[in-house]
Amino acid sequence: MVPGVMQEHSQPEALSLYDRLLARGWRMTAQRRAVSRALDGEHLHLTADEVFARAQALLPEVSLATIYNTLNDLVAMGELREIAAARGPARYDPNMAPHHHLMCVDCGAIRDVDLAPADLDLRPEPGHGFELLAVDVTLRGRCPACADDA
């Protein structure tokens, strides 16, 4: 695969994070390449530490501070989103397509859920004068594995 070359017929969303960053002309470094590759994949909801571990596997000298810097930059650029669901360490999701999350209250496992956002966005009522920008939905429950244990 040739980085930076967009195929005419592919959906833009199909590009990897790394390719999207190149396409944007983002100043590329070994560290940023390691981070963006660490975030490659579907249904990923990694913490900064997990991204760090994956990035280190690709580039052992990378530092945690750089992981944080890069994650923050990506979020500010709109190429990554911070998941609202979790209380502890922040979790990051490279899938910018609209979707929501289902989180296990016992083990913290997160799955993607493709609820039609229309279910909620259609309601102009609850605005209270707010200009509505986004709707975050987090479903909470017990995953099959934890349900068995209980």
Partner DNA sequence: ATATTTGCAAAGTGTTTGCACGTAA
Partner DNA sequence: TTACGTGCAAACACTTTGCAAATAT
Residue 147 found at the interface with a second copy (CB under 8 A): yes
**Which of DNA, a second copy, none interacts with 64 (beta carbon under 5 to 8 A by kind)?**
DNA
Q: Which of 15, 37, 69, 108 is close enough to bind DNA by CB under 7 A?
A: 69
Q: Choose the one of a second copy, DNA, none that binds residue 127, judging by a C-beta under 5 to 8 angstroms depending on kind.
A: a second copy
Sign of torsion, CA 58 30 25 82? Answer: positive
Size of the site for DNA (CB under 7 A): 22
For β-strands 91-93 and 110-113, DSSP reports them as unpaired
Phi, psi of 99 (to 5 degrees): -165, 170
How far apart are CB 38 and a second copy at their closest, in Å? 21
Q: Which of residues 86 and 120 has its CB atom nearest to DNA in the complex? A: 86
- Residue 143 φ then ψ, to 5°: -75, 160
